[in-house]
Amino acid sequence: MTKTAAPLVVTQGDPSGIGPEILLKAYLARDDYGLPPFFLLADPAHIARVAGELQLDVKIEATAPDKACKTFAHALPIVSLDYDVRGFPGRPDPADAASTISAIERAVACVVKGDARALVTNPISKSALYDAGFAHPGHTEFLATLAHRHYGGARRAVMMIWAEELAVVPITIHIPLSDAPKRLTRDLIVETGEIAARDLAARFHIEKPRLAFAGLNPHAGENGALGREEIDVIAPAIATLRARGVEASGPHPADTMFHAAARATYDVALCPTHDQALIPIKTLAFERGVNVTLGLPFVRTSPDHGTAFDIAGRGVADPRSLIEAIRLAGRIS
């Protein structure tokens, strides 16, 4: 099977979250959105139960990756994880953590072998995985570890949240806000910018990606009056990127970067802190944002939301972010 002919692989995520529901709804909408063929790594019996409880008319067929494309036209192809799900929608069971982790590991292996051409991950519950001994901060870091395991070399994964209106990269991610200024180094900014520029060119076919950097402080530091991070750290990093041929601008005041006219001047906004980046895109495209992992030797996308245990099993989960994640994975792979 060639990579161009291979389907996408989708992981189950936490089986007690909304992942199974939105996956079933995405499959039902496959023709409406022109989704590429995909197969799901999951417990077929659990997915069938969820479909029945939510009255979603989806035919399910256990299959192998090399049969998935033919199956996709008439049934949802599921490659069994060989784990029986113990939890229920909205009521996770710690015993299911092993299957959640296994799905990610096997999905990466499928991409490495050429059984799938890209990976789409459903939401996981990090707290449930931590209780089971999961040693990684989250999905992104675990995928970087798996990439190193299969391909070797140092791997740093970068999170980009993408929608048609806006793409953003938080330079520091899941750390306390008080730690961000200490973690925001010139090297980190330069490395993040180079990874973003390289993958936007290679994956998104943007010939000369335009990177816009936000300042850390109000008014981008007001020439040092409101903080020196822009002068001492961010601006020198931008100068280094420019010297290396990357089209980078800033640091810009974060509060003036995200209106329509400003967005037209760049391809991705890189922000020093998590919320600086994610608040604008979740305001503009809350239901359609896609988490794209840059810096990996394979394509990985994910919905830009969590497990939503509070609404799991109620039939109200919106599948649009997963649909967009599947569409984007097909497009850039």
> Do 229 and 315 fall within a single domain?
no
Q: Quote the mean pLDDT of the chain.
A: 92
Known binding residues for substrate are: 139-140, 282, 291, 300
CATH number at residue 183: 3.40.718.10
> Do 149 and 183 fall within a single domain?
no
Residue 85 lies in a domain: yes
Cis amide linkage into residue 7, ω under 30° from 0: no
> Do 131 and 191 fall within a single domain?
no
pLDDT tops 60 at residue 1: no
Tracing tokens 């995985």 back to the chain, one arrives at 129
Residue 172 lies in a domain: yes
Known binding residues are: 139-140, 174, 219, 274, 282, 291, 300
Q: What confidence tens digit (pLDDT) does each residue in 125-171 have?
A: 877 778 777 777 778 888 888 988 888 877 788 999 999 999 999 99
In total, how many domains does the chain have? 2
pLDDT tops 80 at residue 274: yes
> Do 142 and 174 fall within a single domain?
no
> Do 73 and 118 fall within a single domain?
yes
Q: What confidence tens digit (pLDDT) does each residue in 300-318 have?
A: 999 988 899 999 999 999 9
Identify which of 25, 10, 44 has the alpha carbon closest to the alpha carbon of residue 314: 25
Q: What is the mean pLDDT of residues 207-214?
A: 97
> Do 219 and 132 fall within a single domain?
no
> Do 128 and 265 fall within a single domain?
no
Q: What is the mean pLDDT of residues 45-50?
A: 94
Residue 291 lies in a domain: no
Known binding residues for a divalent metal cation are: 174, 219, 274
Q: What confidence tens digit (pLDDT) does each residue in 232-254 have?
A: 999 999 999 999 999 999 999 99
Residue 218 lies in a domain: yes
> Do 267 and 327 fall within a single domain?
no
Residue 111 lies in a domain: yes
> Do 76 and 179 fall within a single domain?
no
Identify which of 159, 185, 195 has the alpha carbon closest to the alpha carbon of residue 290: 159
> Do 63 and 176 fall within a single domain?
no
Residue 2 lies in a domain: no
Residue 3's pLDDT band, with cuts at 50, 70 and 90, is very low
Residue 4's pLDDT band, with cuts at 50, 70 and 90, is very low
> Do 59 and 76 fall within a single domain?
yes
Residue 287 lies in a domain: no
- How far apart CA 137 and CA 300 sit, in angstroms, is 17
The winner for highest mean pLDDT among 79-83, 259-263, 283-287 is 259-263
pLDDT at 256: 96
pLDDT at 205: 94
User: Do 278 and 151 meet the contact criterion of CB atoms below 8 Å apart?
Assistant: no
Q: What confidence tens digit (pLDDT) does each residue in 49-85 have?
A: 999 999 999 999 999 999 999 999 999 999 998 888 8
> Do 199 and 150 fall within a single domain?
no
Range of the domain at 190: 165-282
